Amino acid sequence: MHHSISVYLLVAAAVIYLIRMLPMTLIRRDLKNPLIRSFLYYVPYVTLAVMTFPAILSATGSSLSAWAGFLAGVALAYVDGNLFRVAICSCGVVYLMELFFC
Amino acid sequence: MAEKKRSLYTGEENRTWFLKGMRDGIPIGMGYFAVAFALGIAARKAGMSAVQAGIMSITMLASAGQYGAITVIAGGGGYLQMAVTTLIVNLRYLLMSCALSQKVDPELGLGHRFLLSYPITDEIFGIAMTVPGRLNPFYNYGAAMVAAPGWTLGAFLGAAVGAVLPRRVENALSVALYGMFLAIIIPAARKNRIVAGIVAVSMLCSFLFTRIPLLKDISSGMQIILLTVLIAGGAAILFPIDEEGEGGDGNAS
């Protein structure tokens, strides 16, 4: 069966929008339950941490450059926290490591 | 009722938040450009044109989600498989949307809620949640106005000219996304010891999930959902936030 890329994109875009839209429009009041509130407060940190590590270690050409990029990112984020500077610093460290050591 | 909604925010406030959102959106947009570039290269390999890669990016605005979709296209899977895969890989947005619904004024109108839903990404959600108190939706609009074009243009160019990029540059660009994630979680971990512990546990468990037999066979999208529910759920039971906890970053260590 032949599949059209346009239909693929339409299906994926519709699903993604619905996922984002339904809670936002259906939950129209403040949830009082402290357990749910705490859960939602912790969600982003867990999700981002899980997505970052260990995936970052296999994102580059070698695990050495990846580790260097990861540690540089953690260190700069600890003292700075600017999204762009941290991202660029990680990229730069990976590039230099691969240039000189890999 | 309409009167009441209108008076939620003044035009002056909205303008200020929109501009602030655009300013904070610049680093996100630049990071997105780099990451989307890599995504465009993958889209091209799956048989998509540069225009399709661009349309995909502006309509979905999702990193891991788009990778999932590209994988399905490359494998020639069915439309149902596409729907299920995007549902699972993007399920964290459902949780983020729940969290965001608690961050806006309960009186916020439906139109704003429809608009706010579109740019729920890891980064825009991340910065929106660090705003003290209630969120003015124009902050997210400003950020999206800068970030979405960066994401779209990056994917378009990646698909169009990505093949000519040197391997080393491509490798370096592929950590940009993770750098941005770190810039969201590490400062929060520094301010709050519980968040720090949760981040460490999350990374450790995620690492174990790639090593332990059986667990490592679970798809990465499903791993993210499982670990998020288990760890955030466990943390909520063990360390419930106090009433002001939501402005959590305000608590001076």
Query: Could you tell me the two tokens for B179?
Result: 């750098």
Under a CB-based contact definition with an 8 Å cutoff, are residues B120 and B93 in contact? yes
Query: Could you tell me the two tokens for B151?
Result: 């994401």
Domain count, chain A: 1
Inter-chain touch B110–A74, beta carbons under 8 Å: no
| pTM of the predicted protein model | 0.74
Boundaries of domain holding A88: 5-100
Is some CB atom of chain A closer than 8 A to the CB atom of B31? yes
Inter-chain touch A73–B207, beta carbons under 8 Å: no
Q: Which chain B residue is nearest to residue A85, measuring alpha carbons? A: B27
Helix (H) or strand (E) holding A11: helix A5-26
- Residues of chain A with C-beta less than 8 angstroms from the C-beta of B199: 45-46, 49
Inter-chain touch B118–A35, beta carbons under 8 Å: no
Query: Could you tell me the two tokens for B251?
Result: 């608590």
Task: Please give, rounded to a whole number of angstroms, the shortest distance from the CA of A37 to a CA of chain B.
Answer: 8
Task: Please give, rounded to a whole number of angstroms, the shortest distance from the CA of A18 to a CA of chain B.
Answer: 9
Is some CB atom of chain A closer than 8 A to the CB atom of B56? yes
Task: Say yes or no: ipTM exceeds 0.95.
Answer: no
Query: Could you tell me the two tokens for B126?
Result: 């991340």
Over its length of 253 residues, how does chain B's per-residue pLDDT go in tens digits? Answer: 444 445 578 888 999 999 999 998 987 888 788 788 878 988 988 899 999 999 999 999 997 788 888 888 888 888 988 888 888 778 779 888 998 999 999 999 999 999 999 999 988 998 898 888 999 999 999 999 999 999 999 999 999 987 777 888 888 887 887 888 898 899 999 999 999 999 999 999 999 999 999 888 877 667 777 898 899 999 999 999 875 444 444 333 2
Q: Where are the domains of chain B?
A: 2-177, 192-253
